[in-house]
């Protein structure tokens, strides 16, 4: 069953029900209007604060996109790129692409002009949909792109080098195109994070998307009455595949264009959200805001909020312990995955396993896992090795990169590049990225373990551990520490706290600075290595 069938089913069963709400806190003074009203009113300089769309209108919009693309010769196997910030237009365009049998290619909103050009061409995309935020980045390459591609602008004040999407789609039929789509058909290309150079193109089938939707609903016990708050970018498999749980159950979701503690709590309260996916920094910010008194929980209606889950990066156990002290009624889950595994869930903690916080969990619904050594031999329980996963969500390949594909796909097993170990109860603990392991004096140091330890120190807001070159030991561990707002912290304090770590695991350098994270919450360690490796380190200064 292709993922598009779920949308058509929801349109029939729940056609008049709201399925998506878009909230932009920066435009809070604007009037609240529905999607249809928005299209009828005279365009303003900014979209309204709150927009909404029903399942039937969602499906109609997707059909118009599909028929527009078909009229331009786009069909099975061809590629359509999408470069948009989160908005109500995003998902109808995505599903319109899928309804033609074509392959959707979401692009990272942080891509530079050069990266946009590279990724559009790597995917062999014939069409690019882009929003107003990207005019300045698309315009320099527009003449080149227009030689063999079409550009559709999604927004107000269409630039001269593109075609207005709203006008073009409005003239197309809202009837579903009669295109047979099967589970084995190619569905989407997602891009890797690209932290070691240009990103790789990850090809996924419809079967993988459907597996993700079914798994999300099962893992998080999603029902038709749930309301999912989606904050991370939809170009990423994490946000998209978590939303697929809403698609699977025909339930409502809220797209929040902001991640401040106040904006999150207001959205949960006003939209009656029950299920919220946070990244580690946002959870940290909410806790810090509560402690500072910037937000007061009694000012919000939060009793319906039943689940908080985190993914995309290792989660310090101290963070969840702290969270549950303020939200003791919350269920909690953590989800592990890669774009190569169709996003989160190939390993997950499980709602009933809060006592195992710190683990990434057990194999997800429909998945198998193993931990292997350098010879691909399974390691003994308790030993560290590379985590491998196998299931219906494994990618087809890295598009146009057979060498990279062969390096990670072996007999159907995806080699994740993550080092892990399994405890006596069968729970998997992420130790670190294979490439991030620090070898100091012959000992393997796993930064995540040190980061988890340091995160428990009450003055630390965020922390990253990297290896720095050392003539004697090869590498030493350096801790980049971001201190909580309004607090002072010294190197002596950190060193004293670290006395509870084994000597070889203690950071040899303490650096007080901000910890950079990408849009999906992952620490940007390549950027930190670029800053601190190979340069003379000055004495650490507290930037508190």
**Full set of structural domains in the chain with CATH:** 4-219 (3.40.50.12780), 339-436 (2.30.38.10), 437-532 (3.30.300.30)
Task: Give residue for tokens 């090795």.
Answer: 385
Sign of the Cα pseudo-torsion (493, 494, 495, 496, in order): positive
Task: Give residue for tokens 């592990």.
Answer: 336
pLDDT at 312: 64
Cite the DSSP H helix spans in 146-197: 165-170
Other C-beta atoms closer than 10 Å to the C-beta of 73 total: 10
Residue 175 burial by CB count (10 A; 0-12/13-18/19+): exposed, middle or buried? exposed
Given a cut of 60, is residue 35 above it in pLDDT?
A: no
pLDDT at 196: 47
Q: Mean pLDDT, the chain, as a whole number? A: 88
**What is the C-alpha separation between 459 and 543, in angstroms, rounded?**
13
Given a cut of 80, is residue 451 above it in pLDDT?
A: yes
Segment 50-99, tens digit of pLDDT: 899 999 999 999 999 999 999 999 999 999 999 999 999 999 999 999 99
Other C-beta atoms closer than 10 Å to the C-beta of 509 total: 17
Rounded to two decimals, what is the model's pTM?
Answer: 0.82
Closest CA to 248 of 230, 228, 268, 233: 228
Given a cut of 90, is residue 43 above it in pLDDT?
A: no
Token readout for 515 is: 């910890």
Given a cut of 50, is residue 40 above it in pLDDT?
A: no
Using 50, 70 and 90 to split pLDDT, how confident is the model at 33? very low
Distances (CA, A) of 452 to 283, 457, 528: 15, 10, 18
pLDDT at 539: 35
**Stretch 226-244: mean pLDDT:** 92
**What is the C-alpha separation between 68 and 77, in angstroms, rounded?**
16
Segment (H or E) for 59: helix 55-71
Given a contact cutoff of 8 angstroms between Cβ atoms, the answer to whether 252 and 18 are in contact is yes
Percent of the residues in the chain that have a pLDDT greater than 70, as a whole number: 90
Distances (CA, A) of 398 to 43, 206, 339: 41, 16, 11
Given a contact cutoff of 8 angstroms between Cβ atoms, the answer to whether 108 and 150 are in contact is no
Given a cut of 60, is residue 467 above it in pLDDT?
A: yes
Segment (H or E) for 217: helix 206-219
Distances (CA, A) of 306 to 55, 60, 241, 249: 24, 32, 19, 17
**What is the C-alpha separation between 190 and 193, in angstroms, rounded?**
10
Task: Give residue for tokens 């946070």.
Answer: 278
**What is the C-alpha separation between 472 and 121, in angstroms, rounded?**
46
Using 50, 70 and 90 to split pLDDT, how confident is the model at 517? confident
E strand map for 302-379: 307-311, 331-338, 343-348, 362-363, 368-372
Pairing of strands 252-256, 275-278: unpaired
Q: State the virtual CA torsion across 14, 18, 20, 22 in degrees, nearest 10.
A: 170
Q: State the virtual CA torsion across 267, 268, 270, 272 in degrees, nearest 10.
A: 140
**Stretch 100-126: mean pLDDT:** 94
Given a contact cutoff of 8 angstroms between Cβ atoms, the answer to whether 81 and 128 are in contact is yes
Using 50, 70 and 90 to split pLDDT, how confident is the model at 368? very high
Residue 269 in 3-state DSSP?
Answer: helix
Segment 283-311, tens digit of pLDDT: 988 999 999 999 999 999 999 999 999 87
pLDDT at 523: 81
Percent of the residues in the chain that have a pLDDT greater than 90, as a whole number: 67
**What is the C-alpha separation between 19 and 10, in angstroms, rounded?**
9
Q: What distance lies between CA 509 and its chain's CA centroid?
A: 31
């Amino acid at each position: 069953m292709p993922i598009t069938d779920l949308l058509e089913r929801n349109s029939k069963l729940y056609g008049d029900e709201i399925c998506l709400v878009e909230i932009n806190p920066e435009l809070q003074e604007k009037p609240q209007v529905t999607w249809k009203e928005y299209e009828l009113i005279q365009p303003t300089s900014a979209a309204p604060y709150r927009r909404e769309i029903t399942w039937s209108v969602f499906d109609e919009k997707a059909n118009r996109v599909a028929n527009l693309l078909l009229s331009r010769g786009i069909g099975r196997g061809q590629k359509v790129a999408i470069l948009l910030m989160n908005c109500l237009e995003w998902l109808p365009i995505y599903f319109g692409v899928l309804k033609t049998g074509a392959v959707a290619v979401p692009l990272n909103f942080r891509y530079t002009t050069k990266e946009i050009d590279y990724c559009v061409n790597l995917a062999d995309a014939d069409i690019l949909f882009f929003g107003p935020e990207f005019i300045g980045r698309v315009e320099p390459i527009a003449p080149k792109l227009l030689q063999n591609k079409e550009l559709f602008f999604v927004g107000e004040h269409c630039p001269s080098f593109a075609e207005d999407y709203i006008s073009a789609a409005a003239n197309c039929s809202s009837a579903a195109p009669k295109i047979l789509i099967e589970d084995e058909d190619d569905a989407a290309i997602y891009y890797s994070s690209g932290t070691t150079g240009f990103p790789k193109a990850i090809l996924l089938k419809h079967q993988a998307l459907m597996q993700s939707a079914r798994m999300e609903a099962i893992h998080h016990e999603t029902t038709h009455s749930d309301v999912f708050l989606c904050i991370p970018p939809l170009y990423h498999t994490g946000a998209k595949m978590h939303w697929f749980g809403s698609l699977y159950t025909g339930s409502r979701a809220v797209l929040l264009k902001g991640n401040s503690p106040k904006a999150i709590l207001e959205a949960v309260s006003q939209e009656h959200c029950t299920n919220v996916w946070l990244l580690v920094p946002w959870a940290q910010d909410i806790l810090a805001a509560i402690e500072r008194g910037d937000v007061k929980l009694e000012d919000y209606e939060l009793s319906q909020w039943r689940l908080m889950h985190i993914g995309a990066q290792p989660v310090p156990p101290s963070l969840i312990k702290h969270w549950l002290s303020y939200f003791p009624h919350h269920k909690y889950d953590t989800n592990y995955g890669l774009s190569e595994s169709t996003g989160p869930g190939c390993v997950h903690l499980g709602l009933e396993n809060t006592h195992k916080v710190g683990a990434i969990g057990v194999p997800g619904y429909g998945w198998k896992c193993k931990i292997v050594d350098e010879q691909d031999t399974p390691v003994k329980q308790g030993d560290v090795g590379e985590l491998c996963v196998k299931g219906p969500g494994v990618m087809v390949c890295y598009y146009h990169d057979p060498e990279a594909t062969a390096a990670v796909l072996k007999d159907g097993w995806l080699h994740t590049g993550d080092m892990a170990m399994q405890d006596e109860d069968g729970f998997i603990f992420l130790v670190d990225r294979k490439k991030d392991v620090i070898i100091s004096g012959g000992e393997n140091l796993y930064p995540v373990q040190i980061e988890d330890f340091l995160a428990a120190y009450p003055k630390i807001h965020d922390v990253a551990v990297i290896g720095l070159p050392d003539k004697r030991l090869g590498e030493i561990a350096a801790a980049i520490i971001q201190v909580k707002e309004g607090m002072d912290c010294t190197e002596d304090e950190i060193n004293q706290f670290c006395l509870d770590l084994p000597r070889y695991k203690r950071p040899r350098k303490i650096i007080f600075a901000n910890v950079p994270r990408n849009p999906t919450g992952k620490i940007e360690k390549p950027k930190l290595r670029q800053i601190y490796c190979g340069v003379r380190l000055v004495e650490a200064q507290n930037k508190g």
